Copies of this chain bind each other. A is one copy, B any other.
């Protein structure tokens, strides 16, 4: 397998973390999204939506969308419940992550780390702050009653949400008001095979 990825991407880190915990070997292909490398004809042939990560399978076909890749890799492993409601709850929290969390928290972090901020950015950062804080509060309330997001055990819903939550402070979000969330971050980091976000390159 080959993982086409931007090293500082949390969406890519989701896949890297699961691959490490599964013990899968893979080739890492860095894609400099800041230099337009995810918009080339070669890249668009792998993902017509022009986004990393892309997992290129051994038969040459490509999978994109980080949470779909997680679902694929975790199938049949302890990181994804078998068919039934728990599995659907994994998809529910992954949907929450991509719609209500990532566009606010990850985008804020990306701009603050990689972009020269203009008044245009600052106005939108303020809006994303409100929406991202609401997402963190939803997570904290859930985690006050549950050790992990689904079925009381660590799995790909946790991986999907950990990726950008643990670096939320880089996006201007404080985790201080969320003690249950902070305890969950520590539980994730104590899992066997855990690797930090700093990628293989």
Which residues does A use to contact B, with CB under 8 Å?
A: 48-49, 51, 61, 63-69, 71-72, 75, 83, 85, 88-89, 91-92, 94-96, 98-100, 102-103, 135, 138, 141-142
**Chain B residue with minimal CB distance to A75?**
B83
Task: Check A65/B96 contact, CB under 8 A, given A48-B141, A91-B91.
Answer: yes
* B residues near A94, Cβ cutoff 8 Å: 68
Beta-carbon contact of B88 and A71 below 8 Å? yes
Jot down 9 A-B pairs with beta carbons below 8 A, ordered by A: A48-B141, A51-B100, A66-B95, A67-B91, A68-B89, A68-B91, A75-B83, A95-B98, A103-B103
Task: Check A138/B99 contact, CB under 8 A, given A65-B91, A92-B64, A92-B68.
Answer: no
**Chain B residue with minimal CB distance to A49?**
B138
- Compute how far the CA of A138 lies from the CA of B49 in the bound complex, rounded to whole angstroms: 6
* Chain A residues touching B, majority SS: helix
Q: Most chain-B Cβ atoms within 10 A of its Cβ — which of A89, A91, A142?
A: A91
* B residues near A71, Cβ cutoff 8 Å: 88, 91
- Compute how far the CA of A74 lies from the CA of B17 in the bound complex, rounded to whole angstroms: 30
- Compute how far the CA of A135 lies from the CA of B94 in the bound complex, rounded to whole angstroms: 20
Complex A-B, nearest 3 residue pairs according to Cβ-Cβ distance, in ascending order: A65-B95, A68-B91, A68-B92
Beta-carbon contact of B138 and A48 below 8 Å? yes
Beta-carbon contact of B68 and A95 below 8 Å? yes
* B residues near A103, Cβ cutoff 8 Å: 99, 103
**Chain B residue with minimal CB distance to A95?**
B65
- Compute how far the CA of A103 lies from the CA of B88 in the bound complex, rounded to whole angstroms: 22
- Compute how far the CA of A71 lies from the CA of B151 in the bound complex, rounded to whole angstroms: 18
Beta-carbon contact of B98 and A72 below 8 Å? no
